[in-house]
Amino acid sequence: LFLSDLRPLHRLPPLSASSTPKSKRTRLDLVLSHSDNNPQTLDSIVKSFNAPPPPTIIPHSELARKRRQKRSDKTRCLQKLMPWDKKMDMATMLQEAYNYIRFLQAQVSILQSMPITSSFVSTTQRLNNASFEVDFAGLERLNRQQLLQVLINSPMAQTMLCSQGLCVFATEQLVSLNKAKERKTMLQQFLFGN
């Protein structure tokens, strides 16, 4: 065939049944019958088959952009939860967040085991009874629960405690811990003869 021999499909001569297989003939019949209703050229049919697929597929760059946006949103939320206001790179911020979470877990476990009322005289009461004046900005008038509330809700106090690896303990808890430590030491001396 030469290029001059190409004609629109609706002008092609009918094909004999013996020269083409049945599956090809049905496809050609379908195309030919469609071309009788709506005459199309071979070029328009080829163009319709070569048309780009519908834009339902999201490009990889779009997916990557959405992932980066989601990560940055989560990072911003994490930064808002931390008590400090300094800028850090991602690795440092995640390490600091991990340390802060461990600090909070320790502090919560201590606060849960803390007695509600105190059987000891507070440090501020002892200082107020002394001959010198100390200004606690009104904190000396607060009971234990109120003082803990102020301390726990203060971002500055939380940052300082966390950075130094300290937790808030009640006096009763410290006395109990010291007694337990003494008992453990005595038990080790008794068992191992040191």
At 192 the pLDDT is 85
pLDDT of 179 strictly over 60: yes
Neighbours of 170 (CB within 10 A): 20
**What is the tens place of the pLDDT at every residue in 72-108?**
999 888 888 887 777 888 899 899 889 888 888 888 8
pLDDT of 23 strictly over 60: no
Task: Give me the residue label for tokens 């379908």.
Answer: 30
pLDDT of 70 strictly over 90: yes
Select from 112, 75, 68 the least CA-distant residue to 90. 75
At 108 the pLDDT is 83
At 120 the pLDDT is 52
